[in-house]
Amino acid sequence: MEVIKQVSTIREKVQALRCGGKRIGFVPTMGALHEGHLQLLRASAQENDVTICSIFVNPTQFNNPDDYKLYPRTLEQDVELLKTVNCDYLFAPGAEEVYPQQPLLQFSFGPLEAVMEGEHRPGHFNGVATVVSKLFHFVQPHKAYFGQKDLQQVTIVRQLVQALSFDLELVCYPTIREEDGLAMSSRNKRLNVEQRQIAANLYNALQMARGQLGQKAVAAIKEDIRNYLNQQDQVELEYFEVADVNTLQPVQDLSEVQEVALCIAAFVGPVRLIDNLLVNLKEE
């Protein structure tokens, strides 16, 4: 596996690969890799001639400077993991390579960025859209792979791809979970032993809500989830939402939709975690 740190070098490499008729799969990450990332990389290796992974902790998508500073950075371990899943190239640029000038362009995603992550993390999706656009231009993939855990981010990127006519296929894979249900996340590395056990309550809450769909009104379900998590030590619920799976707008009447996304964000100690479940109401 070749490690590339310069934008000019990855551009040259990609141009040569495309001229040679190679299909490129791309997995953009912020590092601290786990099985969720490796699932995407294995899929890319199976479905494409060449797989490129990027590791870049993007400063423009952090609205909390402490969160950016504390985000896990484990490049040496990540390199070893990438070698086990047939990754061909690691693109690991510095911030000065990705942002030679301060970005001024502003993206707007309408109602999609006014709910959940967009509401609670102002500017987050503008930073996501900026860096994803740049990475897509640098790498020019045929397929780009994302995980369902960041459901709203995937929906934003899908809208970005359509709006800017990127010539690529967006692929989304289901969330990979620990044995107790906790969604795998790079941020899990920041949890201590006690917090790690407590964090499983987020998945328990989603399962509880899933069992109540069709049995209770949405407002009552949301109140039950709030009460359940308020009883857990070191857990501070930021939001729990029952949303239309396509638009991610809040749903009040379940009879109006066929599939919903149960979405949650909470702090466990100092660490902010997100998760979601997709539920087809016709199959429940």
Residue 156 forms part of a structural domain: yes
- Tell whether residue 212 is among the known ligand binding residues: no
Cα–Cα nearest to 131, from 36, 54, 45: 54
Residue ending a domain, among 145, 173, 201, is 173
Are 80 and 112 contained in the same domain?
yes
Same domain, 154 and 111: yes
| Average pLDDT estimate for 270-284 | 94
Residue 160 shares a structural domain with residue 58: yes
Q: What is the CATH number of the domain that holds 203?
A: 3.30.1300.10
- 16-20, 24-28, 110-114, 221-225: which has the minimum mean pLDDT? 110-114
Residue 151 forms part of a structural domain: yes
Round to whole Å and give the CA distance between 284 and 280: 7
When pLDDT is cut at 50, 70 and 90, the band that residue 20 belongs to is very high
Which value, to the nearest 10 degrees, does the dihedral of the CA atoms of residues 115, 136, 149, 82 take? -160
Q: Do residues 167 and 208 both lie within one domain?
A: no
Residue 192 zone, left/alpha/beta (φ > 0; ψ -120 to 50; rest): beta
List b or e across 228-247, with b for residues whose CB sees 16 or more CB atoms inside 10 angstroms: bbeebebbebbbbbbbebee
For 184, which DSSP code? P
Residues 155, 29 share a domain: yes
Average pLDDT over residues 63-76: 94
Confidence of residue 49 (pLDDT cuts 50, 70, 90): very high
Quick check: is 284 in a domain?
Answer: no
Does the reported pTM lie above 0.85? yes
pLDDT of residue 118: 96
Residue 181 domain-assigned?
Answer: no
Q: Is 15 annotated as belonging to a binding site?
A: no
Sign of the CA dihedral running 11, 38, 241, 60: negative
Name residues whose C-beta falls within 8 Å of residue 273's C-beta, 6 or more positions apart in sequence.
183, 185, 187, 188, 199, 202, 265, 266, 267
pLDDT class of 171 with cuts at 50, 70, 90: very high
Q: 54 with 91: CB under 8 angstroms? A: yes
Q: What is residue 191's predicted lDDT score, i.e. its pLDDT?
A: 98
| Residue 283, pLDDT score | 83
User: Total domain count for the chain?
Assistant: 2
Eight-state DSSP code of residue 190: G
Q: Is the pLDDT of residue 246 over 80?
A: yes
DSSP 27-88: EEE-S---HHHHHHHHHHHHHSSEEEEEE---GGG-SSHHHHHHS---HHHHHHHHHTTT--
Within a domain: 238: yes
Q: Do residue 108 and residue 245 come from a single domain?
A: no
Q: Is the pLDDT of residue 284 over 80?
A: no
What residue numbers bound the domain in which 209 lies? 186-278
Query: Would you say 32 is a known binding-site residue?
Result: yes
Query: Residue 202 carries which DSSP code?
Result: H
61 domain-assigned? yes
Query: In terms of Cα–Cα distance, which of 39, 133, 31 is closest to 91?
Result: 31
Rounded to whole angstroms, how far apart are CA atoms 191 and 199?
9
Distance between CA atoms of residues 219 and 200, nearest Å: 23
Tokens describing residue 279: 């539920």
Same domain, 206 and 158: no
Confidence of residue 282 (pLDDT cuts 50, 70, 90): confident
Residues 33 and 161 occupy one common structural domain: yes
Residues 133 and 244 in one domain: no
What's 100's DSSP letter? S
Band the pLDDT of 18: cuts 50, 70, 90: very high
> Is 68 contained in some domain?
yes
Residue 34, annotated ligand binder? yes
Q: Are residues 91 and 195 located together in one domain of the fold?
A: no
Instruction: Out of 140, 173, 206, pick the residue that ends a domain.
Output: 173
Number of Cβ within 10 Å of residue 28's Cβ equals: 23
Question: pLDDT tens, 97-152?
Answer: 999 999 999 999 999 999 999 999 999 999 999 999 999 999 999 999 999 999 99
Catalytic residues: 37
Structural domain contains residue 178? no
- Residue 35 annotated as part of some ligand binding site: yes
Looking at the fold, whether 18 and 123 belong to one and the same domain comes out as yes
Q: Are residues 70 and 152 in the same domain?
A: yes
Task: Mark which of 173, 196, 213 sits at the end of a domain.
Answer: 173
Q: What is the CATH number of the domain that holds 61?
A: 3.40.50.620
β-pairing, 271-280 vs 259-268, is: antiparallel
Q: Which pLDDT tens digit goes with each residue over 178-224?
A: 999 999 999 999 999 999 999 999 999 999 999 999 999 999 999 99
Distance CA 136, CA 162 (A): 13
